[in-house]
Structure 1
Amino acid sequence: MPDLKDLNNIYLIAAFIIPGLIISYMRSRFITGRMEKFSDAALGYLTLTLVYYGFALPLVGWILTFEQGPVKTLLWWSLLIAGPVVFGLVLGVATQREWLRWIANKLRLRMVHNTPTSWDWRFSNCQNARFVMVTLSDGSSVAGIFGTGSFASTDPAERDIYIEELMDVGEDGSWSYREEPAGVLILAKEIRYIEFKKEL
């Protein structure tokens, strides 16, 4: 690990680690919201930084044409901070929309899925409100609407879910709204499985 007391090492970390860290952070906002420990992900940050610099190389050449001064300093900081933010946003959107997977499928290539669990994948793709039925550990079930006012935890240690509006399910399988709308929070230990019904 570089000695952080050495000014030159601080510049190296700022130049080769921080852009990758920012890119990874912005990208994670579109997937699971989680990031790896710095010690485990440092090599990944370096790799992302190098890829980013590969795309930003024309900008580096352009910035070098400026005389030393506040404008050049501002451009360098924009390259180190604003550029990675934009690059991370683009990667995040591309990952969420699965553009790279679409390209790989066209080329008949198989990619490992970037979303770590089916829980993360299913709830990250709930763009429209839909009916859900949660079967609890005691065998009973809870039905309701999972929409914009609902929430599913992205913390792998606590997979709780909040359903914004409960519904009643009749013996014939028909769903009906309650007279007084109410939401419910269901803890992870109470969930056996979740059924996703049709969209509203």
Structure 2
Amino acid sequence: MTISSIEVVVYTAYFVLPGYVIYGIVNSFVPMQIRSDAEKVLRFILYSLIELALWFWWLGRIGDADKSTYWIKLLAVVLFTSIITGAVIGIFLKWNPCGRLLRRLKVQVISKVPSAWDYKFSNLKEGRRLTVALNDGTFIRGIYYSRSMASCDDGYKDIYLEESWQLDGDGNWVRVKDTDGVWISPGAIKWISFKEGEADAEK
């Protein structure tokens, strides 16, 4: 069988594209510490091999009578299966059954999460009231909820709070009128305090 140059490109991409998609989805569930580009490429290949092993039965059923249709079908199936595989792996790692078992056995393990920042923000399951202390001695208060965002970039830890709040004379949290949120640059942040409680309950 003769393989054309375009087929070489497509088949090569097949062993990289699924890993890239799966890695991105898994990393959105559980931020991972990657020390080098070589390690990232190896992780791409590992995820691609897992995807191939899980979905080979489906990929083998794609007919190749019409080459143009074949490539379109292959790309669609690869993207779909990569999304499913990434979500399953991400949920599994988020649940972390091995870590739970080891903790029950009183075995201390080193976390693979890059930083405490990533650990905290990736595990927030509901709204939080945040007090952000700035390096100039002032404070910013706001709500971190579904429309807020905390950076997962190792070198740039900024944060966006979807609503600005302030303390009144009695020490109660009061929503700032017409607030559209506040962005805080990483260089300005000194520390962050998290307070539990549904954000909507105080509106």
TM-score range for the pair, normalised by the shorter chain length: 0.7 to 0.9
Secondary structure of the equivalent of 1:154? Answer: coil
Change (3 A) 1:129 1:28: same
Report whether the alignment pairs 1:105 with 2:103.
no
Give the superposition deviation at 1:112.
4.7
Alignment of 1:1-200 (within 5 A): 7=6, 9-32=8-31, 40-60=39-59, 63=61, 68-70=64-66, 73=70, 76-95=74-93, 98-99=94-95, 101-106=96-101, 108=105, 112-163=110-161, 164-168=163-167, 170=169, 174-178=171-175, 180-182=177-179, 183-200=181-198
Q: Is the 8 A contact 1:165 1:181 kept in 2?
A: no
Give the superposition deviation at 1:58.
3.2
Normalising by structure 2, we get a TM-score of 0.71
Give the superposition deviation at 1:192.
0.7
Instruction: Give, in whole Å, the separation in 1 of the partners of 2:195 and 2:166.
Output: 13
Structure 2 counterpart of 1:175, one-letter code: N
* Aligned length in residues: 188
Structure 1 counterpart of 2:174, one-letter code: Y
Please list every run of 5 or more consecutive structure 1 residues that lacks an aligned counterpart in the other structure: none
Structure 1 counterpart of 2:172, one-letter code: W
Q: Is the 8 A contact 2:166 2:175 kept in 1?
A: yes
RMSD: 3.5
Q: Is the 8 A contact 1:143 1:169 kept in 2?
A: no
Structure 2 counterpart of 1:20, one-letter code: G
Percent identity between the two aligned chains: 23
Q: Is the 8 A contact 1:28 1:34 kept in 2?
A: no
Instruction: Give, in whole Å, the separation in 2 of the partners of 1:32 and 1:92.
Output: 10
Instruction: Give, in whole Å, the separation in 2 of the partners of 1:165 and 1:11.
Output: 49
Q: Is the 8 A contact 2:133 2:139 kept in 1?
A: yes
Instruction: Give, in whole Å, the separation in 2 of the partners of 1:6 and 1:41.
Output: 26
